[in-house]
Chain A
């Protein structure tokens, strides 16, 4: 069974950098057709895709956050990380890590977020 678990500070001051890690068990971050993803959800609101990273280190980021986002993978710890710089109150949200798995047949690949962490609330406040 694949499990993901977010960790990091629950409170970040404005203009500082939010840093979260996601520990993966039951799967290897350096194997398989998987992108490792961050998604956030302001309390009481909808889901927003932040971005994803592949084993090779290639990334895709949400254009609206791209200038402030950095993602990385640590294969030795089997985890991946998110850094979001210059945070404001608008970045207060539940942050989820998830696996974006590509199941492929001979003709197509079918991506989906099949495993999610439980989420961690990050509040931006002084």
Chain B
């Protein structure tokens, strides 16, 4: 199975900060990666598909990049509603696999 390693596992930041979350795949997955946001008690929400494409309705401050084995999700200017847990998901090879999550907390 492809292992997806997210870093950091948790992150404290302030409103207005620029933050970056990284996801590394144990083998190349082209650009077959999505980023998801989950708030407590809620279903996940897809933010980015195909590594760098913004899901409809998602603010442009969410930026995805990368290809192959290394991917990043950048939030250019944190807003209060962005404090949540973020997951990457590879959909290149079965079984598809999620990263372990990055919890973004208010500093």
The answer to whether A binds B is no
A-binding residues in B (CB < 8 A): none
